[in-house]
Structure 1
Amino acid sequence: MTIMIAKWTIDEYHRMIAAGILSDRKVELLKGEIVEMSPEGKPHAYSSHEAGEYLTQLLGNRATLRQAKPITLPNDSEPEPDIAIVQRLGREYREHHPYPENIFWLIEYANSSLEKDLETKSKIYAEVGIPEYWVVNLKKLHLVVFREPLDGEYATKLTLTAGTIQPLAFPDVSVSVEQIINS
């Protein structure tokens, strides 16, 4: 017997949200599947918030930081990364969430969701051409940097514990790894 999983489009997912079907659930759409999101623990909440504050100051008005807000991807995915650094499109975001072409880079903080963030989400983001994706491993306190999407995966993967990193979109900006990890 073959088990078939029902897949959902972004439009169907939005209709479920509008109808209130998902109002009491913390979920995201990944490759057409509605996936429960892990509860946000104290270290996760603290670190992602502080990193967002730091990056906002660092980038100024060069980008907008969206924290725990959806992004819309053409592979039937609408994840809610902890931090999305996106183009400043102002009121345009009233009409749609950021698309891949609006995204400079994404950051996830992971403890219980580490495997999903390192494996599943990295492939989803690479598939749609997100140029850079960072995962903060809250268990080991290191930063995993994915760059150069190629054939549905990232060609480059770096693990950092200290120093600075220059985001691809802003090579003149030095981001403190410690501020992103420990904040």
Structure 2
Amino acid sequence: MFQASPKFMSFEEFVEWYPDRAGRYELYRGAIAEMLPTGDHEEVTAFTTGELFLEVRRLQLPYIIPRTYLVKPPGEDSGYQPDILVLDRGALQDEPRWKKSSTIEHGKSIKLVVEVVSTNWNTDYGNKVTDYERMSIPEYWIVDFKGLGAKRYIGSPKQPTISVYQWMEGEYQVQQFRGKDRVISDTFPELALTAEQIFAAGV
């Protein structure tokens, strides 16, 4: 859930403004949006983050899952804070804004983005799919644990769904997982996690 501000702001202005504010915000085409996640949203996010962290540690992968960050699409006054961001530690040396403002501009620095759906589902399925695809981010999960997305995205009847977008030949291809389906991830090919295990964290 989010509340948007009518004031237009450039990305540079947003980065300067943000440290003085408590709370969590994103910038959508120059409009500030305050993110107001629910408890069950946070439980799903925490569970999924924990499982991914355990996989990173188990396999000793050169990845980090930071707590505070922004993802900036090219040429846009936008800055996103995905619910989970898995970064390639070695690529961060090429990120000009990382040290100063924890901002990622290059898709090659990102291994996986996860958005856990709340009432602003249209942004997760709309702008973010387009922007993450333009950045060539290799993998993007939309965890729709309440089945809130439109039928054109998750089918009919609507039901809890995880949509995994894989970047292939310049565009995203999507595969969906429900119930006892094991979530298939190119970033974490050995991940033994089902859709219902993730959904259950928010019950």
TM-score w.r.t. length of structure 2: 0.71
Asked whether the equivalents of residues 85 and 103 of structure 1 are also in contact (C-alpha less than 8 Å), the reply is yes
Q: CA deviation at 1:10?
A: 2.6
> In the TM superposition, what is the alpha-carbon distance from 1:68 to its structure 2 partner?
5.8
Using a 3 Å threshold, how does the CA distance of structure 1 residues 149 and 117 change in structure 2: closer, same or farther?
A: farther
Identity percentage of aligned residues: 18
Map of 1:122 onto structure 2 = 129
Counterparts of 1:106 and 1:10 in 2: how far apart (Å)?
20
Match of residue 57 from structure 1: 54
What is the Cα-based RMSD across aligned positions, in Å? 2.9
Describe the superposition over 1:120-149 as per-residue Cα deviations: whole angstroms up to 9, x where unpaired. 211111111111111111222220111226
Match of 2:154 in 1: none
Residue in 2 that maps onto 1:75 = 75
Distance 2:8 2:134 in 1: 18
Q: How many correspondences in the alignment?
A: 173
Mark the runs of 5 or more structure 1 residues left unpaired by the alignment: none
**CA 1:101 to 1:88, structure 2 compared with 1: closer, same or farther past 3 Å?**
same
- Is the aligned partner of 1:180 residue 2:178? no
| Pairing of 1:1-183 with structure 2 (within 5 A) | 8-17=9-18, 20=20, 23-24=21-22, 26-30=24-28, 32-60=29-57, 61-62=60-61, 63-67=63-67, 69-76=69-76, 77-89=78-90, 93-95=98-100, 96-99=102-105, 100-140=107-147, 141-148=160-167, 154=172, 156-161=173-178, 162-183=180-201
Inter-partner Cα distance in structure 1 for 2:190 and 2:99: 30
The equivalent residue for 2:150 is none
Deviations 1:5-52 (A, max 9, x none): 98644323223335x3xx15642123x322314411011011101111
Pair 68,17 (structure 1): closer, same or farther in 2 beyond 3 Å: closer
- After TM superposition, the structure 1 stretch with the greater mean CA deviation from structure 2, 8-17 or 48-57, is 8-17
Gaps spanning 5+ residues in structure 2: where?
A: 1-5, 148-159
